[in-house]
A and B are shown apart, each in its own frame.
Chain A
Amino acid sequence: MDERRLREVALTPDEYKVIVERLRRAPNEVELGMLGVLWSEHCSYKSSKPLLRRLPSSGPGVLQGPGENAGAITIGEGWAAVFKIESHNHPSAIEPYQGAATGVGGIIRDVIAMGARPIALLDSLRFGPLPESSRHFEGVVAGIGGYGNCIGIPTVGGEIYFDECYTNNPLVNAMCVGLVRTDELMRARAEGTGNSLMLVGADTGRDGIHGASFASVELDDNSSQRRPAVQVGNPFLEKCLLEACMDLSHTDAVVAIQDLGAAGLTSAVAECAGRVEGAGAVIDVAQVPRRERGMTPYEVMLSESQERMLVVVQRGREREVESIFNAWDLTSAVIGQVTDDGLLTVVDGSDQVGRLPITLLTDGAPVRRLVGIAPDPPFGLEIDALPPLADAGGTLLRLLASPNLSSRRGVFRRYDHMVGDATIVPPGGDAAMLRVKGTKLGLAMTTDCNARYCHLDPHLGAQLAVAEAARNIVATGARPLAVTDCLNFANPDRPEVYWELEETIAGLAYACRTMELPVVSGNVSLYNESFPTRGEGGPAQRSRPDGVGQSAIYPTPVVGMIGLIDDYSKRLGAGLRAEGDFVLLIGSSHNDLGGTEYLKVEHGHVAGRPPALDLTREQAVNRVVLAAAQSGYLHSAHDCAEGGMLVALAECCLLGGIGVRCPAVRPEAPLRLDAAFFGESQSRFIVSVTSRAMPEMQSLARRHNVELSLLGLAGGDTLEFEGQLKLTLAELRQAWDVLVP
């Protein structure tokens, strides 16, 4: 077999050998293309599969774990939350607007396929520093808004980080949350021999061919030639598709719905059939509605045209389904049938053009046993060598203005975050919260990951991402329920990257297991790495900003989490609410300066160990906040994250429009003043309470053995630590609200 041809379909000679052995013949062109896309890392998880099994995926309330279009968990009152996060990194690097837009479109279809109505979107984004990366940043933000605003699903959360390591490889991870009655939850299983397979929605074009394969290789100088592999989104069409699919629930003629995403029709049919023992399918490409003339069966099977769904319909009831799509002026066509031969047979009219075992497509890719080797540890941090804090106020202003900490208002106001009349905690604080209409239930949601921590210690960094997400949920008064994860890594063929992947998954598994958070869905994106020097011979150097290299991203395991509050009238915001309230710090502070924003902004280092994490203490602190919220003691709650206590306190002031007066902080040795203000010790919240609630708060904290300290009194229009800093809210806002970029 021609090696060039194999490279085109992203198969290795060894993989080709396996195919020939299994088929006992050489695959034809169509079959080779189909195997190429389904055996891509993006579809087959061949490098990460053995590791992913370590993640806990079951638990009380889990209705659907990994393996379906999205995960599902019961939230009470007959409702289930359906959610998943997915990457669209490679397309966004090449074509930021369409890459991000179709990433949003794809994750929405995953939720629709479960029978759920999508209610919210979140986007976890990473870029190189501005202004150099403004093409990526502007394009991605516009693409997310362009799609989400048009389709009418609120974008309520996410993150934006800037770091040199994402300059060539921006990350765009989109999460969608939906709601469905538990008894209407659907699964994309091709049940029932003889049932019809209908393709609905957009016509099929040549766009996106080899998208999945493209997402499974490193970007290089020629990547812009891959631009045709990036699809173009049509949110209006998807809105119609969404409503039509919701209307399908009125009929029992539909057996299953499957999204067409990466690897298009090939993947949709194979996955749908693969979920049913012994099931197969016949597809007639001649029946596929097309928007271009002269498309070959190969192109039809591999097209990644957006806004299409595969619907399994009971035989004889196709008309009912067709009429529902007709009402929305959408095309639908019967393109094949479910069979019981375990084969995917592709015909073009009367000619057979391909025939492959379903299991070969879905499970045949040889698992790649890669080896992880720990790289040299990152630079250590000699804390005692750091100069003492000279000007707390100046440092605070610089941190508030730093691109990673400044207000995201300038971005969120470009997204419709209110449509749906359900957003009851808007973006900009900790987690967002949406009400489940007709109930008192509030669904909190967030995405989190500090990749700098993960770079310094992937095992700990992954745990910190889980803990941070949980704290963001808890800060709204909701209890964490379940997780979806998006694992973004560089090229795992290099042992140090594979080691990062191993360590990260172990860390995630440990934290999720300890905190009883099932991981019900997720996605892996590898090869987020580019080699500008490729072709100059020798193994490419890893060149991240720490000196270890510039073209490989930090390990970035984004944790998407949802949480639940039974009575949303008890929800909390981050902003201070009333003058005269006591402002308290829950949790204890240590010299956790490693990997902090303070260290990077003020001292120019990314070094040291990330903040220590004790999951038992973490949970104790969460219990205190949740119990206090439940009892109605709290007026506000905000977690201490990047930038430490002082940045968190400034955010409480800015979000609430109320100042705080505090006595000077006099940390007890060995705690340093800079660590007390800007250290990123974990398991800490800033809460505000009325003076009357103080005794209860103190006894609650004692009962859980959690440290509680009074920071100051809410009031006025300055943030003041007597003799240490005094800044007006206007000064703080001017620094913070820089409206990136």
Chain B
Amino acid sequence: MKFGVVVFPGTWSDRDCGWVIDQVLGAELTYLWHKDTDLKGCDCVILPGGFAYGDYLRTGAIARFAPVMEKIGEFADRGGLVWGICNGFQVLCEAGLLPGALIRNASLEFRCEWTNLVVERTDLPFTSKCGEREVLHAPIAHGEGSYFADPATLSRLEQRGQVVFRYCDATGRVVPGANPNGSLHNIAGIVNARGNVLGMMPHPERCSETELGGTDGLKLFRSVAENALQVLVS
């Protein structure tokens, strides 16, 4: 099982994801440079958080044109696991690998704080270690994390059960007060129809050790580590 963590200029969660994969999970890790044109045999590619290319134009708008993205698109088409976190989620939306877009937080401010997420899909390779409707405690850190999609896309997502994480209160109730950024339907993370491309705004790599405030994020890394091979084989 080998994780590849993509590094764009301006990415900063690469080292945090790498730390969790290498030091906490103990899985194989390689970094993928944005100019790379092969994925070095990775079983799961992570697009981590940051401000790729400065995000001066629109989050993820430039990153989608990076050479490595073409390979990631092909990899996803073959069923490979692609996991976008924060800025990575924004890049996946820009690249058309996931529907919708992330727009400015309703508060118009950057938000770095802990949130609660209810897990709505546990049949995915990313979430198989989570319980049914389990509530995960995970931090966000973004200025543009408000999930938006047109009504048709949104209802399609809901019908097909592509919403994986929703912001909720501590007891798992999906209420407006628990929504930190104004995301439609409290959406914090979605998956593509095939179930191999996940995008999420919260940072699982920041909650994978007790000293950082929680280990719920590690459940996602563990799920991937266990399932990646099976997915590729199937």
Please report A residues at the B interface, Cβ cutoff 8 Å: 145, 149-152, 234-237, 239-240, 243, 328-329, 412-421, 423-424, 426, 435, 437-438, 568-569
Q: A235-B54, A421-B205, A421-B206 are in contact. Are A416 and B141 (CB under 8 A)?
A: yes
Least CB separation from A442: chain B residue: B211
Q: Can you list 20 A-B pairs, Cβ within 8 angstroms, ordered by A? A: A150-B55, A152-B11, A152-B12, A236-B51, A236-B53, A236-B56, A237-B54, A239-B9, A239-B10, A243-B9, A328-B9, A415-B110, A418-B112, A418-B203, A418-B212, A419-B49, A421-B205, A424-B211, A426-B213, A435-B211
Q: Residue B99 at the A interface, CB < 8 A?
A: no
Which of B16, B51, B56, B113 touches A421 (beta carbons < 8 Å)? B16
Contact B16 A149 (CB under 8 A): no
A424 CA to B212 CA, complexed, in Å: 5
* Cβ contact within 8 Å between B51 and A150: yes
- Complex Cα gap A424–B213 (Å): 8
Report the 9 A-B pairs with minimum CB-CB distance, sorted nearest first.
A152-B12, A236-B54, A421-B16, A416-B141, A150-B51, A416-B112, A413-B113, A424-B211, A236-B10
Contact B12 A151 (CB under 8 A): yes
With contacts A149-B110, A239-B10, A419-B141 taken as known, whether A568 is within 8 angstroms of B211 at the C-beta atoms is yes
Name the residue in A239, A240, A329, A568 with the highest tally of chain B Cβ atoms < 10 Å from its Cβ: A239
Residues of B within 8 A of A415 (CB): 110, 112
Q: Across the interface, which residues of A come within 8 angstroms of B13, CB to CB? A: 152, 419
Query: Within 8 Å CB of B143, what residues of A?
Result: 149
Q: Complex Cα distance A235/B9, Å? A: 11
Closest to B20 in A: A421
> For residue B139, which residues in chain A have a CB less than 8 angstroms away from its CB?
418
Task: Check: B158 CB closer than 8 A to any chain A CB.
Answer: no
Contact residues in B for A328 (Cβ distance below 8 Å)? 9
**Residue of A234, A237, A239, A414 touching B109 (CB-CB under 8 A):** A414
Q: How many inter-chain contacts with C-beta < 8 Å in the A-B complex?
A: 82
| Majority-rule SS of B interface residues | mixed
C-alpha gap A328/B51 in the complex (Å): 15
B12 engages A419 (CB within 8 Å): yes
If A152-B50, A328-B9 touch, whether A420 touches B211 (CB-CB below 8 Å) is no
Instruction: Assess the B112–A413 pair: CB atoms within 8 A.
Output: yes
Task: From the candidates A329, A418, A426, A568, name the one contacting B9 in the complex (CB within 8 A).
Answer: A329
CB-nearest residue of chain B relative to A569? Answer: B211
Q: Are B212 and A145 in contact (CB under 8 A)?
A: no
Q: From A415, which residue of chain B is reached at the shortest CB distance?
A: B112
Interface string of B102-119 (1 = CB under 8 A from A): 000000011111000000
Say how far B210's CB is from chain A's closest CB, in angstroms.
Answer: 10
B36 → A minimal CB distance (Å): 12
B82: min CB distance to chain A, Å:
22
Specify which chain B residues have a CB less than 8 angstroms from the CB of A417 in the assembled complex.
112
Please name the residue on chain A nearest to B17 by beta carbon: A421
Q: Does B65 contact A (CB under 8 A)?
A: no
- Min Cβ gap B33→A in Å is 8
Residues of chain A lying within 8 A (CB to CB) of residue B50: 152
- By a CB distance below 8 angstroms, the chain B residues around A235 are 51, 54
Query: Once bound together, how far apart are the Cα atoms of A412 and B139, in whole Å?
Result: 14
Say yes or no: B54 contacts A150, CB within 8 Å.
yes
Would you give the shortest CB distance from A729 to chain B, in whole angstroms?
16
B positions within 8 Å CB-CB of A: 9-13, 15-16, 19-20, 23, 49-51, 53-56, 109-113, 139, 141, 143, 203, 205-206, 209, 211-213
Q: Are A437's CB and B19's CB within 8 A?
A: yes
Closest to B205 in A: A421
B206 touching A418 by the CB < 8 A rule? yes
CA distance A437 to B18 in the complex (A): 13
Measured CA separation A171–B139 after assembly (Å): 31
Looking at the assembled complex, report how far the CB atom of A17 sits from the nearest CB atom of chain B, in whole angstroms: 48
Report how far A417 CA is from B113 CA in the complex, Å: 9
Q: Closest residue of chain A to B113, judged by CB?
A: A413
Having A236-B10, A413-B112, one finds 16 other A-B pairs with CB under 8 Å, namely: A149-B51, A150-B55, A152-B11, A152-B13, A152-B50, A234-B54, A235-B51, A235-B54, A240-B9, A412-B112, A418-B206, A419-B13, A419-B141, A420-B15, A421-B209, A421-B212
Please report the C-alpha to C-alpha distance between residue A127 and residue B57 in the assembled complex, in whole angstroms.
Answer: 32
Residue of B nearest to A330 (CB): B9
Q: Which residues of A contact B211 (CB under 8 A)?
A: 424, 435, 568-569
Query: Which chain A residues border B112 with CB–CB below 8 Å?
Result: 149, 412-418
Q: A145-B110, A415-B110, A419-B141 are in contact. Are A239 and B12 (CB under 8 A)?
A: yes
Q: Is the CB of A423 within 8 A of B212?
A: yes
**B63 to nearest A CB, angstroms?**
12
| Max chain A Cβ within 10 angstroms of own Cβ: one of B12, B15, B53, B212 | B12
Chain A contacts for B20, CB-based, 8 A: 421
**Residue in chain A with minimal CB distance to B12:** A152
Does the CB pair A414–B212 fall under 8 Å? no
CB neighbours of B209 from chain A (8 A): 421
- In the docked arrangement, what's the CA distance between A240 and B19, Å? 20
* A417 and B10 alpha carbons, distance in the complex (Å): 17
* Minimum CB distance partner of A244 in chain B: B9
Give the residue name and chain of the A residue nearest to B13 (CB): A419
**Cα distance A151–B203 in the bound complex, in angstroms:** 17
Rounded to whole Å, the gap between the CB of A102 and the closest CB of chain B is 16
Q: With A and B bound together, what is the CA distance between A403 and B209 in angstroms?
A: 35
CA distance A426 to B211 in the complex (A): 11
Alpha-carbon gap, A149 to B209, bound state (A): 22
Query: With a CB–CB cut-off of 8 A, which chain A residues contact B109?
Result: 414
| Shortest Cβ distance from residue B15 to the other chain A in the assembled complex, whole angstroms | 8
**Residue from the list B53, B55, B56, B141 in contact with A418, Cβ < 8 A:** B141
The complex places the Cα of A145 from the Cα of B107 at a distance, in Å, of 15
Among B49, B53, B56, B109, find the residue whose CB has the most chain A CB atoms closer than 10 A. Answer: B109
Chain A proximity of B145: nearest CB distance (Å) = 12
Q: Which residue of B lies closest to A236 (CB)?
A: B54
Residues on B with beta carbons closer than 8 Å to the beta carbon of A438: 23
Task: Give min CB distance, B107 to chain A, whole Å.
Answer: 9
List chain A residues, Cβ under 8 A from B113: 413
Interface centre among A145, A412, A416 (most CB of B within 10 A): A416
CA distance A415 to B142 in the complex (A): 9
Q: Closest CB of chain A to B83's CB: distance in Å? A: 17
Name which residue of chain A comes closest to B33, CB basis. Answer: A327
CB distance from B54 to the nearest CB of A (A): 3
How far apart sit A412 and B206, CA to CA, in the bound complex (Å)?
17
Closest chain B CB from A331 CB (angstroms): 14
**Nearest CB to that of B139 among chain A residues?**
A418
Are the C-beta atoms of B10 and A150 separated by less than 8 Å?
A: yes
Q: A414 to B111, Cβ gap below 8 A?
A: yes
Set of chain B residues within 8 Å of A145, measured between Cβ atoms: 110
Task: Specify the chain B residue showing the minimal Cβ separation from A146.
Answer: B110
Interchain nearest-CB distance for B87 vs A (Å) = 10
User: Is the Cβ of B110 less than 8 Å from the Cβ of A416?
Assistant: yes
**A149 contacts across to B, CB distance below 8 A:** 51, 110, 112, 141, 143
